[in-house]
Amino acid sequence: MGMNTNGNPVLTTTVEAFEKLINWGRANAVWPFQFGLACCAIEMMATASARFDLARFGAEMMRASPRQSDLMIVAGRVSQKMGPVLRYLYDQMLEPKWVIAMGDCSSCGGVYNNYAVIQGVDKIVPVDVYVAGCPPSPDNLLYGFMKLQEKIAKDHPLRSQKVLKELKTL
Amino acid sequence: MGSPPILAVLAVIVAKALVVIVVLLTAFAYMTWLERRLISRFQVRIGPNRVGPFGLMQPLADGIKLFFKEDFVPAGADKVLYYLAPGLAMVTAFTAFAVIPFGPPDVQLFGVPLFQISNPNAGILFVLAVTSIGIYGIILGGWSSNSKYSLLGALRSSAQLISYELGVGLAIVGVVLLAGTLQLPEIVKEQSGFFFGFLPRWNIFVQPLGFLLLLIGATAETNRPPFDLPESEQELVAGFHTEYGGMKFAAFFVAEYVNVITASGVATTLFLGGWQGPFVDQFPILGPLWFVVKIFAFAFFFIWIRATLPRIRYDQLMDVGWKLLVPLALLNLAITSVIVLIWPSLGGGS
Amino acid sequence: MPTLNQIIFWFFAFTAVASGIVMITRQKPMQSAIAFLVTLLSLAGLYLLLDAQFVAILQIIIYAGAILVLILFVIMLLHSHSGEGSTSKVPLQRPVAILLSLILFGGSIYLFASTDFGVASTPPSDMGTAQNVGHTLFDKFILPFEVASILLLTGLIGAVVLAKREREDSSNDAH
């Protein structure tokens, strides 16, 4: 759905207030999808446990079913065999959904510059935040997560496509 | 004095039901918050603390997010049953709370007791009946999703639920024998007074085995860990609600936690003296307060168990249900019957 | 102006018959089972109107809550591929079935119309409570009660023996 407020100030303010509320809800209740593939998964687990605690941001409900999660943290290298599986799971997630490419291997292939590893997961799914590191330390991943929250806060979930284009050109 | 106008009576009943529904929904929301904070504390973490003071707005954020998720039906799913299942689960979870008394029955408005929604003759059997219907929510959810993980989760869950219903029912019969009636306000009344002057006359002191069996059975009936194999992540992706997202998943979520609250309510009423506590006779409004305190104690206990114990394997789960719970419950029943026969003053009723 | 009692009766009666019709006209057995659930719940409502509270609750706990669940198990385990019914090859099945059911239906209508039922005496309103049913069951009907228990015990033992024998047979084949 999308709304075109036609510049009406009262309608615009109300819609913006609602959008802020929706964005606040979505940013503070992100449920990650457990997609630890390789060594970065260990750092993801460390982020979710005692010292760094991803749960403080409301992201502790790591659901195993793609239907119930919002965020796919691709933690690790994606081999050519795993590529279609990853795309399939990404398609099964419900809108709105985001992807964090954690670590060098999922961002650009990392140390594995060969025929067996997909050189960057953004070749198969649209990535929102890239977290660099091999593996990125948990503080790094938390910083990436907070950047994602900022990105979600800038979204316009209630506007129509035409209005979004206009807002982008401003 | 003539009988009160029927419209006033209806209005009081509807208002009571609405208040209870709102309170249950709020209790569900903050039970999720409590669970996440407590489990984090048990695991030496902090838990949600950024979303509002102490993370108290976290359930609100979860709710908003789930509300605005995409509405979705899996390919090949049976649409009618797919939409019906979470609704059925949620409705039965709330309905089961209708017979639980949370305050003294003599506080009335227009002749309608204010602290219990309804007092049928079958009393505690009503809760058993409604939870039996709640099983259909799980079965239909698993079947209609057209996915093998969901079907397996639904089959396991329904087998688990009907097996533990036996143990729970038999554990309850011990209390019913002592009280001589099925009606819950009477059972609470039978627990007033003191043993030896200081120990409250609660059924937990007279029926410790029954209490233990009810606790284990209730944990299994509500699919709580360590009996949460039907929802386990490592084995079944997410069990019967694998293919549910957004608001329908929220409905299953609500149903599970409200079931936990109802089970705590039943255990409180049957074994911990319900709404009774100090100074309730002088200030009847304290009745609901004591009830809430006891429910909170049970909720804490359920969360504590979740944080502590590992999950039970499915065949072990069925073994415990049939080979441990049912014989022990029958033993409890036999002992209680013999005692009530020999000393009729201990048992109640005619 | 019909009384509240009559309105509720017609509501439950209509729901029972309607869900019965839905049950026999569905293609998918799962939907038939759910229609059956609605029928059972309407019957429980009718029992309540007749002041048989204990029987109503037991109807839900036992029939709707345990027996129907087991029926659903069978459906889920055996029809998990298609979810649809089987096709049968008995010749002339449909015309013969229609004829026989019309005869049965006509016979019942004739019997009901030609009997003078009279008005029964109203039983006391607490006849259906748990206490009264319990007293009567263990007082006047203790022998049928015990015989029914033995029947159920026979069924239980038979089921366990059959299941065990199948497992032994299959494990014998494996060796």
Rounded CA separation B166/B185 (Å): 24
CA distance between the termini of chain B: 33
CB atoms within 10 A of CB B77: 18
- Count of C-beta atoms within a 10 Å radius of residue B225: 19
The amino acid present at B295, given as its one-letter code, is I
Q: Which of A57, A70, A94 is facing B50, going by the closest CB pair? A: A57
How many whole angstroms separate alpha carbon B266 and alpha carbon B299? 12
Domain count, chain C: 2
Give the closest-approach CA distance of C43 to chain B in angstroms.
14
**Residue C120 φ then ψ, to 5°:** -75, 155
| DSSP code at position A3 | B
Which residues in chain C have their CB less than 8 angstroms from residue B143's CB? 30, 72, 76
Indicate the pairing of strand B199-200 with strand A129-131: unpaired
Q: Which two tokens stand for residue B233?
A: 């992540």
Q: Which secondary-structure segment (H or E) carries A25?
A: helix A9-28
Length of chain C equals 175
**Alpha carbon distance B81, C31 (integer Å):** 8
Lowest mean pLDDT among A64-73, B104-113, C107-116, C145-154: B104-113
Has residue C119 been placed in a domain?
no
Enumerate the β-bridge partners of residue B200: B194
Q: Pick B125's closest partner by Cβ from C61, C70, C131.
A: C61
In this predicted structure, the answer to whether residue A78 has a pLDDT above a threshold of 90 is: yes
Q: Do C54 and B122 touch (CB under 8 A)?
A: yes
Closest-CA residue of chain B to C125: B121
Q: Nearest-CA distance from C11 to chain B in Å?
A: 20
3-state secondary structure of A79: strand
pLDDT of B90 over the 90 cut: yes
User: Does ipTM surpass 0.90 in this model?
Assistant: no
- Is residue B70 within 8 A of residue A95, CB to CB? The reply is yes
d(CA B101, CA B118): 9
pTM: 0.88
Give the span between the Cα atoms of C43 and C28, in whole angstroms: 23
Please list every residue in chain C whose beta carbon sits closer than 8 Å to the beta carbon of residue B132.
60-61, 64-66, 69
Q: Which residues of A104-129 are buried (b: 16+ CB within 10 A; e: fewer)?
A: bbbbbbbebeeeebbbbbbebbebbb
Which residues of B lie closer than 8 Å to C, measured between beta carbons?
78, 80-81, 84, 120-122, 125-126, 128-129, 132-133, 135-136, 139-140, 143-144, 151, 154-155, 158-159, 162, 165, 181-182, 349-350
Residue C10: inside a domain: yes
Confirm or reject contact between B243 and chain A (CB < 8 A): yes
What DSSP assignment string belongs to B175-234? HHHHHT-S-HHHHHHTT-SEETTTEE--HHHH-HHHHHHHHHHHHHHTT-TTS-GGG-HH
Q: What is the pLDDT of residues B194-242, one digit of tens each?
A: 777 777 888 888 889 999 999 999 999 888 888 887 776 555 566 777 7
Confidence (pLDDT) at A161: 67
Tell whether C80 lies on the interface with B, counting CB pairs under 8 A. Answer: yes
Tell me if C50 is assigned to some domain.
yes
What domain range includes position C15?
1-83
Closest CA to B56 of B24, B21, B29: B29
- Angle between the N-to-C axes of helices C68-78 and B148-179, in degrees from 0 to 180, rounded to the nearest 10: 160
Q: Is A13 on the interface with B (CB under 8 A)?
A: no
Residue for token pair 């990535």: A127
Query: Pick from C30, C70, C73: which is nearest to B81 by CB?
Result: C30
> Is B165 within 8 Å of C54 when comparing Cβ atoms?
no
Asked whether residue C127 is domain-assigned, the answer is no
Matching residue, tokens 């209806």: B10
B65, B148, B233, B236: best mutation site toward chain A, by most A Cβ within 10 Å? B65
Q: Give the separation between CA C164 and CA B174, rounded to whole angstroms.
A: 33
Would an 8 Å CB–CB cutoff place B58 in contact with chain A? yes
The three-class DSSP label of residue B17 is: helix
- Res C175: pLDDT: 42
Query: Quick one: tokens of B151?
Result: 């079907």
Answer whether residue C173 shows pLDDT above 70.
no
pLDDT tens per residue, range B177-206: 888 888 899 888 888 877 777 778 888 888
**Residue ranges per domain, chain A?**
31-152
Q: Do C65 and B80 touch (CB under 8 A)?
A: no
Q: What is the predicted pLDDT for the residue at C174? A: 45
Q: Please determine, for residue C6, whether its predicted confidence score (pLDDT) is greater than 80.
A: yes
| B49 pLDDT above the threshold of 60 | yes
Burial C138-174 (b: 16+ CB within 10 A, else e): eeeeeeeeeeeeeeeeeeeeeeeeeeeeeeeeeeeee
Task: Determine the 3-state secondary structure of A124 from DSSP.
Answer: coil
Task: Quick: pLDDT tens for B122-179.
Answer: 889 999 999 999 888 888 888 888 777 778 888 888 888 888 998 999 999 989 988 8
Cα(B241)–Cα(A66) distance, integer angstroms: 11
Which CATH fold topology does A31-152 show? Answer: Rossmann fold (3.40.50)
Count Cβ atoms within 10 A of the Cβ of residue B294 and give its class: 0-12 exposed, 13-18 middle, 19 or more buried. Answer: buried
* Statement: residue C21 has pLDDT above 90: yes
In chain B, where the domains are located? 6-346
CB contacts under 8 A, B 68-107 vs A, are 68-70, 72
What are the phi and psi torsion angles at C91 (to 5°)? Answer: -70, 145
Residue B116's nearest CA partner among B127, B125, B103, B128 is: B103
Q: Note whether A70 contacts B: Cβ–Cβ < 8 A.
A: yes
Distance CA B279, CA B34 (A): 29
State yes or no: cis peptide before A96, omega within 30 of 0. yes
**What DSSP designation does A159 have?**
B
